[in-house]
Structure 1
Amino acid sequence: MLRETMQLKIAPSILSSDFAILGEEVKRITEAGADYIHIDVMDGSFVPSITLGSNVVKSIRKYSPLPFDVHLMVSNPEQHVEQFAQAGADIITFHAEATVHIDRLIDKIHSLGKKAGISLVPSSDESILNYLYNKIDSILVMTVNPGFGGQSFIASQLNKIKNIRRKIIESKRNIDLQVDGGINDSTAKMCKEAGANIVIAGSYIFKDRNYAANIQSLKQV
């Protein structure tokens, strides 16, 4: 579990931004104090919605020096990692439920010079990660069912976050533990207390034009 004095890192999800001025939105949240840019990629298969492709990632890369974490909510992610790596992703996060050969895909992402993350939907048990702590760079716990923004936080996932943090400590590796879904100042505090060090927020940050204030309110929980 993290110390209460440790500040959370914040990754705004641009899924909730104004797509008509996406580059400017990325620039604004960077200047507002974000630590990462979280990019949700949906294919209409693994999840119902369809969102951004690699060309969009490439086009917004120039608007921020921050790490781009591309979250692939897609079936067969192994078919897509190379194009997103070339487009400017720094971290490529894929779903454990979307591919059979998880270990192989981690190696492929690393071979492209990128960090590899694994995401779990609420119905997935964290034990699927047990053989991966020696090589994974980040873990993303979904606290909503992926596919849409603005959903309510699923509190039962807090125990999963605690269990994963315990495993990270046992691994003695510097693995980021991210949480995504229904994040606000109240749920961010719960996630931090459970062991998360990064929270992903969309609706909460982009709900108004006060990006800096919204980011700081999450950092200071």
Structure 2
Amino acid sequence: MQIFKNSKFFFGTLKAHTLPTLKYGYGDLEPVLSATLLEFHHSKHHQAYINNLNAAQEQLEDALAKNDVQKISSLQGTIKFNLGGHLNHSLFWENLTPIKNGGGQLPDANSALVQEINKNWGSVDNFKTFFNTRTAAIQGSGWGFLGVDQQSKKLRYLELPNQEIPQNYGLTPILTIDVWEHAYWWDYKNVRPNFLANVWKIVNWKDVETRYNQAQK
């Protein structure tokens, strides 16, 4: 039961999880993401992770009460996968905002975040190119992350498969892009690079900057 003993994300109070309410309407991210795609992604895919997570947690509570070691062990993978899906998607929604509300607008050039990006990649444009190139090359399903290293407090890029979470790799995520096919197929078919090129137009840099500043404390 290594997961449950060592990770605060996978053990503790087994509260029921709920689908987060978006801060924008399903049609507000157009033309980058269509209302149809966003509604399906949020209300169907994300909700499915939550439903599966809650069901597995109920089974885990029962198994813990009965000290059913075999059942507890068998639930680890299900809980890890679906909780990861819930956490990653929750961050993804917060990282997006409509163009009319400032989507794509960078923080001030003198901000600590922009200066750190420039220090690591030369410019924000260079960072976007780097991020897109690496994330587009993920085989199968996964996520690209920009985060703050929990020890050095420096920015670090990380790509992870499926629903792995960066917290388990010493990284506090401040920005993520979902490159599972369901995140873009409806609008971009199998051309992942086109999705990645356009999604920066709706990135909520204010949210990213806030998360960066919080992670420095």
- TM-score, structure 1 length as denominator? 0.30
Q: Larger strand proportion, structure 1 or 2?
A: 1
Richer in helix (by share): 2
